[in-house]
Amino acid sequence: MWWEKAVFYEIYLPSFADSNGDGIGDFNGIKERLPYLKQLGIDALWLTPFYPSPKIDNGYDVSDYCDVDRQYGTLQDLEELIQVAKKSGMHVIIDVVFNHTSTQHPWFQSALQSTEDKKRDWYIWRDRPNNWESFFGGSAWEYDEKSQQYYYHSFAKEQADLNWHNPAVKHAIFQILDFWIKKGIDGFRFDVINNLTVSQDFKDNPVDETRRQIHQNDVNQPGVLAILKEINAYIKNCNPELFTVAEISSDDLKCIEQYVGAELFDTAFNFNLGSQEKLNLNYFASQYEAMNTAAEKLPTLFFNSHDMSRSWERLADKNVDVYYLLIVLLTINHGITFLFQGEELGLGDFLAANLTDIRDIQAKNKYFELLPSDGEVRAIAAANLVNRDRSRGMLPFNIKGWIGSAKVNESEKVIMAGYKALIALRHKEGPFLPLEKIQAENDLLSYWSGDIHVILNFSEKPRQIELLEDRPWQTLWSHNGPYLAKNKIYLPERAGWIGKRN
């Protein structure tokens, strides 16, 4: 399939490229930047939510699934973007948020009218709340005074969860998928899709020894896979080349992999690897080993997204050579590569200085939780630790923005050159076979993919490696001056080498 060796580029719409000077990225801004993305080597765009929304959760609270928010342009602007991207040889996939709607969505507004309303059972209602907690903090139940019942929201109270046990909900979602497929979309990224169903007996969730809730009855529930198989079957029946990728709210690889397969999603985001807070090569090696055990399941390869601190700070610790080697792990590897806007420039985090700088509801909740007890300075510091705005700063293409700017990297030209070279090598040599002989020792990571051998020295000391086979080698890529001598390769500090057996 087309996506097997593709490089995807996630566009967080409001922060990417602003074409009309209002400080908010838009469809025409993306269209103007398509030559830039094509030159980088991008094969597919992933657009984050662009639907009408009150923006309680920056667009992941959808009030109309079949239209666009006017701050991004018009539906015609989006259709033109899709067509121009296709003419440039790029596919387009979009975010779909089917776990919940905005409470401003007409479906929920109808459900509020009466307990007898036809849309009432499209959502989850209870006479009494249980102890389930929202992933954004606090109770997952909100009281409706008119009906004297509580509705369920696994995230913000303005994001009411849909009741997927009602067949009418599924039918409505199929119509939405139809709408976008007919617009020329090439696939879908499904947001927090393992939250789609909850336990029907509504038992309280257990808590651990620290009194932290274990989400046992509100995620990964029996029956969710059957629903997801129906969704994927519907999409593939429309067009077998349409791509589906799941976001699973888990970093447990076994949990993630149960959502991928012939009847399920083409792949799912491997947060077990991509979301790590620091670079640990031994851990990375163990995860690559686990991710490569099932050849029919292509893992995802990413170190950045709209929900986490940028890898320039988090994994590379602002070291250009380390960042360079991380590009190899993203591109010359078994799996599907996902880049996040600006990582090709080595952009750093945006950090809020005060409450008015914060846009993320998760960070705002943390700030107000700690402000009374810890004071302003500590509350802001704690908010920034969970602040998803860190990666959402405006790109340097823009003069002003709805949010502050991402930190510019002085080495952006060098970093960009590294991405271009390795993406081109991926296109030439990929798709790559499952990894073998994965080894991590003394800050050196090496692995094989078929006849291709990757050796990356993350340490501050030079290393000498004896190649197992005394035969001619073709050097496909190198960084920081490694060199071959007979059957040995010498790697200076933080050097990398990719070779191919002749």
Per the residue annotation, which of 158, 191, 257, 349 is the catalytic one? 191
- Which residues contact residue 288 at a Cβ distance below 8 angstroms, ignoring those fewer than 6 apart? 273, 333, 435, 438, 447
**Contact 8/43 with Cβ under 8 angstroms?**
yes
Kind plus residue range of the DSSP H or E element containing 188: strand 187-190
Q: Are 223 and 278 in contact (CB under 8 A)?
A: no
Name the one residue in this structure whose structure tokens are 């390795």. Answer: 422
Q: Between vectors from CA 386 to CA 380 and to CA 390, what angle results, nearest 5°?
A: 85
What b/e sequence results for 202-219 when a residue is b if at least 16 CB atoms lie within 10 Å of its CB, and e otherwise? eeebeeeeeeebebebbb
Q: Which helix (H) or strand (E) holds 83?
A: helix 75-87
- For 7, phi then psi, to 5°, come to -110, 115
Annotated catalytic residue 493: no
Cα(332)–Cα(315) distance, integer angstroms: 18
The active-site residue out of 161, 218, 247, 266 is 247
Q: What are phi and psi of 192, to 5 degrees?
A: 30, 55
What is the rounded distance in angstroms from the CA atom of residue 289 to the CA atom of residue 102? Answer: 40
Give the distance between the most distant pair of CA atoms in the chain.
81
Write out the E strands in 215-316.
Answer: 243-246, 267-268, 300-301
The DSSP element (H or E) to which 478 belongs, if any, is strand 473-479
247 classed as catalytic: yes
Q: Where is 477: in which H helix or E strand? A: strand 473-479
The tokens of 156 are what? Answer: 């913000």
Measure the CA–CA gap between 8 and 283, rounded to whole angstroms: 25
Q: DSSP string of 94-150? A: EEE--SEEETTSHHHHHHTT-TTSTTGGGB-EESS--S-B-TTSSBSEEEETTTTEE
Query: CA dist 301 to 260, 328, 332, Å?
Result: 15, 10, 10
- Is 392 within 8 Å of 348 (Cβ atoms)? no
Residues tagged active-site: 191, 247
